[in-house]
Amino acid sequence: MNSEQAVELARKTLEAAVLLAAPLLIVVTVVSLLVNLVQVLTSLQDTTLSTVPRLAAAVAAAFLLMPWMLRRITSFTVQLLSDLRPFAGH
């Protein structure tokens, strides 16, 4: 495997990781913004009030997105392992 192939493999792997993480990060970010807005408007600064909704949103999003995430990672793995010739040393 030469350096170009290693870079390409790393790029594809990072793209897959970002694609899998992005929906969860977006959900948690939106929920955090909403919770922070509520905290500012009501002057409630309890840490539990900010942590629990974020965790609940992350768990719910992970639960709902798990089939899609499994399909994506399975597809990536099958695609990677289906043709190993470019990575074989000569």
- The pLDDT assigned to 89 comes to 63
What is the pTM for the complete model shown?
0.77
- pLDDT tens for each residue of 33-82: 999 999 889 888 887 788 899 999 999 999 999 999 999 999 999 988 88
- What's the pLDDT band for 90 if we cut at 50, 70, 90? low
The sign one gets for the Cα dihedral 40, 58, 22, 65 is negative
- The pLDDT assigned to 26 comes to 96
- The pLDDT assigned to 64 comes to 96
DSSP character string of 5-59: HHHHHHHHHHHHHHHHHHHHHHHHHHHHHHHHHHHHHHT---HHHHHHHHHHHHH
